[in-house]
Amino acid sequence: MPRKNDTGTTTGTHRTRTTHRRRLLRREVPGTVGLLADAGDFAAMCGYRSFAFDHPADYADYLHDVDGLLRSLAAQGIHTSVALFDPEEYAEFCGETGLDPDTAGTRARFTAELAGSGALLPYAGQTIDELVPLLVDEAVRQATWEYATGVLAEVGQCADCGEDIGHASFDRAADALKRLVAGAGPGHHHFVCSIPTEAQQLVAVLHADTTDGDPDTPPRIEGREGLDFVTVLAAGLALGGPGGLVVRTTGEGRRDRVHGWRLDRGRLTALSAAAVFNAYCTDADTGDPVAPESGVEYCPGYEVDAPGPHH
């Protein structure tokens, strides 16, 4: 017979209720799984004795087990995010904090840090084969945005008027995006902005949908693509170097249309139809001509940059 406490409450029943409530509360505690996105990173972690795997050839088994772990957590109703676990960043983290890298606790702490600052994707039942490239893309997107943001923060002030060049460039890029979308007309628009820098090639992609209806209706843009695109374009304007921007528009019952611009000395300059054709029909790596796509109209760019920037 269950023992009763001084208040007459059945101890066994109390424990059962407490356990049940804790299980319910556990569902409200999010979790983060650090994922090694390639065999090289996995091999690096196999060098730690406390790591669950010790053979670099077992990467496929590792992915299978991570997939099972994610599914198990989802089945328990636990919201889980997946972070990109970089062994080099992990080693730096351990060096800075003085923590022993060869413990599960340190790896867990590093993964928790990633949840606040690293590339992160919510797990929504994706297969591991889908999840890995998505996570890598997210890491590249975040690194690109961080670098472009750093460019804007460090570019300084205009020597003539004292205006903050980074802030002004961001405002110009935001205005240019509005003109880009408006000028492209109705349809689905695929924008690509590419800016070469000393450290890396900055590339931002934006998808926007506009309709034939009310012109005041804002375009539909997914997630934070708009912020990323404007930041990269602003970095190109602020640096004043070369760069390029293209948009491809598709619409039902219409031919695809392609427009293009180049960045030159801090301005977006519209390309001619011939220049757009040449850009699309030339292999970027070899310089060899590429056959034009059927059903695609190569169009000149249109005015999108405000006149008169002096920095």
106 CB-near residues (< 8 Å, 6+ apart): 94, 99, 100
CA–CA distance, 290 with 296 (Å, rounded to integer): 14
pLDDT digit of tens for each residue in the chain (311 aa)?
Answer: 444 455 545 566 766 766 666 666 656 656 899 999 999 999 999 999 999 999 999 999 999 999 999 999 999 888 899 999 999 999 999 999 999 999 999 999 999 998 877 788 999 999 999 999 999 998 899 999 999 999 999 988 877 787 889 999 999 999 999 999 989 888 999 999 999 998 889 999 999 988 765 556 667 777 788 999 999 999 999 999 999 999 999 988 788 999 999 998 889 999 999 999 988 887 766 767 778 788 899 999 999 987 655 55
Asked if 270 and 301 count as a contact pair (C-beta separation under 8 A), the reply is yes
- Strands 31-35, 80-84: pairing is parallel
Residue 23 sits at the vertex; the CA angle it makes with 32 and 10, to the nearest 5 degrees, is 160
β partners of residue 205 = 192
Tokens at 271, concatenated: 């390309």
For the whole model, what pTM was predicted? 0.78
E strand residue ranges, the chain: 31-35, 80-84, 120-122, 187-196, 201-210, 220-221, 243-250, 256-264, 267-270, 296-298
Cross-strand bridge partners of residue 298: 258
Sign of CA dihedral 184, 190, 191, 196: negative
- Quote the CA–CA distance of 204 and 183 in Å, as a whole number: 19
Kindly list the domain boundaries of the chain, sorted by start residue.
11-126, 165-298
